[in-house]
Structure 1
Amino acid sequence: MKVEIWSDIMCPFCYIGKRRFEQALQQFDHQEAVEVQWRSFELDPNMQTVPGQSIHELLAARKGVSVAQGKQMNDHMAGIAKEVGLDYDFDRVIPTNTFLAHRFIHLAGEHNLQDAAKERVLAAYFTEGRNVGDLDTLAKLGAELGLDAAQVHATLETDAYTNQVRLDEYLAQQVGVRGVPFFVFDEKYAVSGAQPSELFLEVLEKVWSETQPVAQDMEGASCEVDGDC
């Protein structure tokens, strides 16, 4: 069974959805037969790093609220993340364009490290306050995964894996992805949002037992295009 997951690094629901899906997968009797493919999605392709700008300030500006209210929203999100064992530290988050990080994940995928790279980049962004839009940072993260840091740096200095990211985004349009995370199970079921692990398990079991394609959409909490969560 193949599960394709469209998500963005800057999407807090995407990391939560990853954990909930993993919890379901651990309970699935045929988890060894499940192939997970991470697909790129940019919530804000035009995102620029503004030195010194906090994620609270960015959220406040986008929502048209005060910085204090932006922080309250992020604190609420951190509470949701904690329920699945994630320790979001929004005070340290560095808002940045995620295109380079998506290319990095594709690079790691060439070494069968796609899932590990996805996890590492999400943790770096949400819990460690590292700039995942920075070449040096990604090279260090690559080294932590067992890749050659200098090679990672040199590769990402080119336009390598740009086409792979663009292909994922094109496929997202074809599938009808409007928010992330977005899960497609064996081209039979589309599950939108960070659904409860029980629902993911239900879909895994249903798809496994079926022989005919079935189309069904389920809506849940997600981040919309342009970073609206």
Structure 2
Amino acid sequence: MNIIVWSDFTSPASYVAQVRLQHVIKALKLNDKVNYQVRAFQINPNASTEAVETNAAKLALAKDITLAKAQQYFERWKKQGQAEGISVEAGYAYATNTLAAHRLVAWIQSVEHDNAKTEALVDGIFKAEFAENKNISDHQVLLDIVKKLGFDVAAAQEVLTTSAYREDVLNQEASFRDLGSYHVPVIIINQKVLEGLQPRQAYARALDPKAGEFVDDYLIK
């Protein structure tokens, strides 16, 4: 069973969708039956590598509203994250450049071919962005994640200090545009295209049509 996930690490919807899909796969006991691929799309390929303004601060400036009011806009993502057992503090996050993070994911998929390791790295980067509000453009932040997961730090550093896997990321983005979509997440399950954050049942039905009506009963709240 083939699953392709297009996402970006500055997209809270991508984070929630990724974890929600993982929960449904686990609930349906399909972990060993899926071929899981993560592909890149940069929402803003020209984003700075420096963490200057939070998402809420940018919104407050753009809309000429208070920071507190801007922060309220991101509360919906906090609630969506809580429903999946994760912390999503999108208002306090920095929408920095994600090319390095995507290159690192392309690397781990190339050398390991292991769904669990790919998911662990992706989850670690998302957590750094939205739970810890770190600058995921910072190579040291990424290397700390790699080290914590027990992956090859020297190999990861070699990737980050060169242009390795850059073309892979750009090709993935080109393939995404060929779908006719410019917004993430997009998840393809058995050739069924699911755009945006979907309810659990949508992922369940794509994975197993018979499970769609009762998948919520399987999931740990």
Alignment partner for residue 119 of structure 1, among 123, 127, 131? 123
Q: 1:200 offset after TM fit, Å?
A: 0.7
Secondary structure, counterpart of 2:3 in structure 1: strand
Q: Match of 1:26?
A: 26
Question: What residue is the counterpart of 1:161 in the other structure?
Answer: 165
Conserved 8 A contact 1:27-1:201? no
Distance 2:160 2:29 in 1: 39
What corresponds to 1:204 in structure 2? 207
1:45 partner letter: P
In structure 2, what is the Cα distance between the partners aligned to 1:200 and 1:206? 10
Greater percentage in helix: 2
Which residue is 1:3 aligned to? 3
Contact map agreement 1:138 1:153 (CA 8 A) in 2: no
Q: Contact 1:10/1:98 (CA < 8 Å) preserved in 2? A: yes
Give TM-score, length-normalised by structure 1. 0.82
Contact 2:54 2:93 in 1 (8 A): yes
1:77 maps to a residue whose letter is W
**Counterpart residue number, 2:45:** 45
Deviation at 1:193, TM superposition (A): 1.3
What is the CA–CA distance in structure 2 between the aligned matches of 1:47 and 1:177, rounded to whole Å?
A: 20
Aligned equivalents of 1:70 and 1:45: distance in 2?
A: 24
User: 1:176 — aligned with what?
Assistant: 180
Equivalent pair of 2:92/2:133 in contact (CA under 8 Å): yes
Q: Map 1:189-200 onto structure 2 (within 5 A).
A: 189-200=192-203
Change (3 A) 1:23 1:62: farther
Residue 178 of structure 1 and its aligned partner are, at CA, apart by 2.1
CA deviation vs aligned residue, 1:113-157 (integer Å, no higher than 9, x gap): 222110110011111122110111111111112223233122211
Q: How many residues align?
A: 207
Distance 1:162 1:64 in 2: 37
* Structure 1 residue runs of 4 or more that deviate by more than 6 Å after TM superposition: none
Q: Distance in 2 between matches of 1:51 and 1:27?
A: 37
Which AA in structure 2 matches 1:34? Answer: V
Give the match for residue 145 of structure 2: 141
- Spell out the pairing of 1:93-108 with structure 2 (5 A cutoff): 93-108=93-108
Percent sequence identity is 24
**Structure 2 stretches of 5 or more lacking a match?**
211-221
Structure 1 residue 177: deviation in Å?
2.3
Q: Relative to 1, partners in 2 of residues 1:94 and 1:30: Cα closer, same or farther, differing over 3 Å? A: closer
**Structure 1 residue 88 displacement after superposition:** 2.0
Alignment match, 1:210: none
Alignment check: 8 A CA contact 1:131 1:137 kept: yes
Q: Unpaired runs of 5+ in structure 1?
A: 208-229
Amino acid at match of 1:20: R
